[in-house]
């Protein structure tokens, strides 16, 4: 793919990782770095060995009190541990939603939409009210039923052509 300028090329590069590790993997890396065992970390943090094991095996989340305990042991801020968990949870939710997408595709096929081609971009027909703002009648107009007193118009995305 050719890019007219360097800036556009850099915008096209996605910096989102394909896999986000559980914070337990980072805990394991720190244990390896310091040469500690999981039971050493449990003793230093005051947490149970079972809790440390579950975190390291990605079976348990890192709660705020646990993050504070890890902060004291590893000298890394609690917000680091909580942020790692937040990013992991977000990635897992995205993975679950992606797994559901074939089901949603089948469901969406039951609701055909008319999309007109306008140049290289799409013009989407909608119904706008004469009064300012959006209301129920405007929403119904978009979904299909004609509402008395409304003129059909269309929204055009990056194209000079009208519907």
Q: How confident is the model at residue 110 (pLDDT cuts 50, 70, 90)?
A: confident
CB 58 within 8 A of CB 68: no
The widest CA-to-CA distance across the chain, in whole angstroms, is: 75
What whole-number distance in Å separates Cα of residue 36 and Cα of residue 38? Answer: 7
Q: Which residues pair with 152 in a beta bridge?
A: 127
In 3-129, which ranges are E strands?
A: 116-118, 121-128
Instruction: Provide Rg for the chain, Cα atoms.
Output: 26
pLDDT by residue (tens digit) across 21-67?
Answer: 999 999 999 999 999 999 999 999 999 999 999 999 999 999 999 99
Burial class (CB in 10 A: 0-12, 13-18, 19+), 2: exposed
pLDDT of 159 > 50? The answer is: no
What whole-number distance in Å separates Cα of residue 60 and Cα of residue 119? Answer: 52
Alpha helices in 109-159 (DSSP H): 136-143
Domains of the chain (ranges, CATH numbers): 23-108 (1.10.260.40), 116-156 (no CATH)
% of the chain beyond a pLDDT of 70 = 56
pLDDT of 143 > 90? The answer is: no
């Amino acid at each position: 793919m050719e890019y007219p300028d360097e800036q556009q090329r850099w915008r096209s590069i996605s910096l989102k990782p394909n896999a986000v590790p559980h914070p337990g993997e980072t805990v394991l890396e720190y244990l390896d770095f310091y040469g500690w065992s999981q039971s050493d970390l449990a003793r230093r943090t005051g947490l149970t060995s079972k809790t440390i094991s579950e975190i390291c095996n990605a079976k348990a989340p890192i709660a705020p009190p646990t993050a504070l305990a890890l902060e004291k042991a590893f000298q890394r801020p609690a917000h680091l541990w909580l942020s790692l968990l937040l990013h992991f949870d977000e990635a897992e939710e995205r993975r679950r939603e992606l797994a559901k997408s074939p089901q949603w595709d089948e469901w969406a096929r039951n609701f055909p939409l008319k999309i007109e081609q306008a140049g290289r971009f799409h013009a989407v027909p909608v119904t706008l009210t004469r009064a300012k703002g959006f209301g129920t009648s405007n929403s119904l107009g978009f979904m299909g039923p004609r509402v008395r007193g409304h003129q059909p118009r269309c929204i055009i995305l990056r194209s000079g052509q009208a519907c």
